[in-house]
A and B are shown apart, each in its own frame.
Chain A
Amino acid sequence: GAGVSQSPSNKVTEKGKDVELRCDPISGHTALYWYRQSLGQGLEFLIYFQGNSAPDKSGLPSDRFSAERTGGSVSTLTIQRTQQEDSAVYLCASSLRLDQGANYGYTFGSGTRLTVV
């Protein structure tokens, strides 16, 4: 597609429920990243995928968070047993490759605003 697409744009969920957030990167981009942005805070790295390599999960805050990328394209971030502190905007970005992103910038989606009540 023309840009990085994320869905849903807004999600309100009850505490304890599971949620799935979807990211559709730019076609042909092999590197995909998830970030989290809390109100008034900077972007917090969560996970990245590069092609068929093992993902870098070092930023996932707890084992309630997981992500997968199917067929090297669409990615899903899953949060199990959501807590109020999970409320944030979840941003997805992609780049041609990891080094291309580092050298030429990342393309971000508009994010999913998650509210846990």
Chain B
Amino acid sequence: SQKIEQNSEALNIQEGKTATLTCNYTNYSPAYLQWYRQDPGRGPVFLLLIRENEKEKRKERLKVTFDTTLKQSLFHITASQPADSATYLCAPNSGGYQKVTFGTGTKLQVIP
């Protein structure tokens, strides 16, 4: 069955450092992969989408990579700030009209 794995343990980093979150998937070949941010008591907020033919995508301090051979996406936040503290969800998707499946998320804590 399709499986999405994100680090279940919280990631604590010092303010100003680069945070790197990992998303691994098995038993399918997504055409797209989305990343969302979720704050406590709120719904997820869409951040970035990367396609299978794109190795890397950037948006401000965010960078996402997509390695279809390793079946892995990495999500980087550079110059991290305490306001970046949240849970980050990845969602590999087969594209087209498929419903999106989400990982369980990784909680990031940026320490001032």
Contacts and interface: CB of A to CB of B under 8 A. Distances in A.
A91 B99 contact: no
Interface string A21-42: 0000000000001010000111
Contacts of B99: 33, 45, 48, 56, 59
Interface string B44-61: 111101000000000000
Contact of B104 (A42, A48, A59, A103): A42
Size range of the interface on A? 20 to 34
| Most chain A beta carbons < 10 A, residue from B34, B49, B99 | B99
Contacts of B34: 105
A50 B102 CA distance: 20
| Chain B residues touching A, majority SS | loop
Contacts of A110: 41-43
| Most chain A beta carbons < 10 A, residue from B41, B46, B47, B100 | B100
B44 A108 contact: yes
A93 interface: yes
B55 to A, nearest CB: 18
Interface in B73-112: 89, 93, 95-105
Interface stretch (A67-75, A79-87, A94-102): A94-102
A45 B101 contact: yes
Given A42-B105, A43-B89, A102 B43 contact: no
A58 B100 CA distance: 13
Interface of A: 4, 33, 35, 40-43, 45, 48, 50, 56, 59, 91, 93, 98-99, 101-111
